[in-house]
Amino acid sequence: MRAKRSTSSGAGRVRALDTLERLERALDPSDRVAATQTPGVRDAAVSVIFRIASGDELELLMIERASYEGDPWSGHIAFPGGRREPGDATLLATAMRETREEIGVDLAADGRVLGALARLNPTTPRLPLISIAPFVELLTRDSPLLLSEEVAGAFWVPLATLRRAETSADVEIAVGGTLRTVRALVHGRYTIWGLTERIIRDLFARLDD
């Protein structure tokens, strides 16, 4: 099912819907994302959530994870999501459950699934062995954000801002007590890097195809 057009909307909304339709065509079918078969690797899933904001601008929802000692993703900018639990029928169900638990957004009621991005795994040996499935959704009506204790903050960022050349930069990040130079997206005080940056780059690539 494609994003519905409104003949009463302005040109900006038409452009936003055109972008979403192009993206939806480029995404993988969400119902074909299966659990990993790799021994010792645990499944996880995240929600890459769009909304059409005022001015008919596409925005992405990002969260800032709370800081906990011993948590390898402590304080990172991320998408809502987490590890699959035994009660999750599918990885999409994992993404939706984790989104509801972390930020209070019920995507089954207030959103629509557009598709899936490529699965990815951490490349840093110190991180847990997990396989992450990113699902892309459109928030179809306003939904208040109710943050859990796992989330320090949440914010919407314009897609156009993330795609600007000046947003992309090489930055130094402390990883396990060692400084590393990593590719990142810098938005105000937020530095988006690692798995989240890789997910966004996949999103960009599909929009540019």
pLDDT tens for 22-39 read 999 999 999 999 999 888
| E runs forming strands in the chain | 42-53, 57-65, 77-78, 81-83, 111-116, 130-139, 151-158, 168-175, 178-187, 190-193
Sorted by where each starts, the structural domains of the chain and their CATH numbers stand as 11-164+194-208 (3.90.79.10)
Q: Is the pLDDT of residue 60 over 90?
A: yes
Compute the distance between CA of residue 120 and CA of residue 139 in angstroms, rounded to an integer: 24
If 0-12 CB within 10 Å is exposed, 13-18 middle and 19+ buried, where does residue 125 land?
A: exposed
% of the chain residues with pLDDT over 70: 88
pLDDT greater at residue 101 or residue 122: 101
Q: In whole angstroms, what separates CA 123 from the centre of its chain?
A: 18
Q: How far apart (Å, rounded) are the C-alpha atoms in residues 77 and 37?
A: 28
pLDDT in tens, 67-83: 877 666 578 999 999 99
- Using a pLDDT cut of 90, give the percent of the chain over it: 74
Asked if pLDDT for residue 172 goes beyond 60, the answer is yes
pLDDT at 9 over 70: no
Q: Is the pLDDT of residue 180 over 90?
A: no
